[in-house]
Chain A
Amino acid sequence: QLLLQESGPGLVKPSETLSLTCTVSGASIITKTYYWGWIRQPPGKGLEWIGTINYGGNTYYNPSLKNRLSISIHTSESQVSLSLSSVAATDTAVYYCAMALVVGDLLFWGQGTMVAVSS
């Protein structure tokens, strides 16, 4: 069974860089048909797509975050990472990683990790 587990700091200071990791188990992270996405949800609000990466390292980013965002795939650790620079309070959210068999159809989700941006 595919399992996704997000991890990272629960608190980040404004202007610093947020780094999160999604550890994948139960499937090969470099399977050609898999896409790995990051999605966030501010408290009490809806879902916002952050970006997606495929097995070959091709990335697709939310244009509103693109200048601050980097998503990478680390095959030996079976991990997908997210780096978001120059964070502000508006980046406070639950961050989810998810897997898609078809890009855009997010089939498996991690439990999410809450990140607060505060001094």
Chain B
Amino acid sequence: AGLTQPPSVSKGLGQTATLTCTDDTNTVGNQGAAWLQQHQGHPPKLLSYRNRNRPSEISERFFASRSGNTASLTISRLQPEDEADYFCSTWDSSLNVLVFGGGTKLTVL
């Protein structure tokens, strides 16, 4: 799997941002994609499991979805603290490897 994410996305405060993660194989379509958020100087935080469920402490403003080999993370009602880097990842069970996308820098204007 090779996961492609747009390098940057900019949206206004209170708006909705949709981040995408496109796989050049069927891995995301079969295994799903997890989403992580990383603020500068901090470790990543898991926002969504590959099955699109959220860990208990994650806001419902973060919604993961999938269509074919493209996974998406929709962030509604954007807040200043949402400004961060976002990474997708998937587990390729045929090769037993974890693959990360290159990440998207989200700017909240």
A, B from the same assembly = yes
On chain B, which size bracket covers the interface? 20 to 34
On chain A, which size bracket covers the interface? 20 to 34
Would A60 and B97 count as touching, CB distance under 8 A? yes
Which one of B8-16, B17-25, B66-74, B83-91 is at the A interface?
Answer: B83-91
Give the chain A neighbours of B89 by CB distance below 8 A: 47, 49, 104, 106
Would A47 and B50 count as touching, CB distance under 8 A? no
Give the chain B neighbours of A47 by CB distance below 8 A: 36, 44, 87, 89, 100, 103
Within 8 Å by CB of A107, from B31, B55, B97, B103, lies B55
Q: B46 on the interface (CB 8 Å rule)?
A: yes
Within 8 Å by CB of B49, from A62, A102, A111, lies A102
Within 8 Å by CB of B43, from A49, A60, A111, lies A111
A37-61 residues with Cβ-Cβ distance < 8 A to B are: 37, 39, 46-49, 52, 60
Give the chain A neighbours of B97 by CB distance below 8 A: 49, 60, 62-63
Give the chain A neighbours of B46 by CB distance below 8 A: 105-107
Would A52 and B87 count as touching, CB distance under 8 A? no
Give the chain A neighbours of B90 by CB distance below 8 A: 104
Bound CA–CA A52/B89 (angstroms): 14
Q: A36 on the interface (CB 8 Å rule)?
A: no
Would B43 and A110 count as touching, CB distance under 8 A? yes
When C-beta atoms are compared, the residue in chain A nearest to B95 turns out to be A63
| Residue positions of A touching B, CB distance < 8 A | 37, 39, 46-49, 52, 60, 62-63, 96, 102-107, 109-112
| Residue positions of B touching A, CB distance < 8 A | 31, 34, 36, 43-46, 49-50, 55, 87, 89-91, 95-103
- Per CB-CB distance, the 9 closest pairs between chain A and chain B, nearest first, are A104-B91, A109-B43, A49-B98, A47-B100, A60-B96, A46-B103, A105-B49, A46-B102, A105-B34
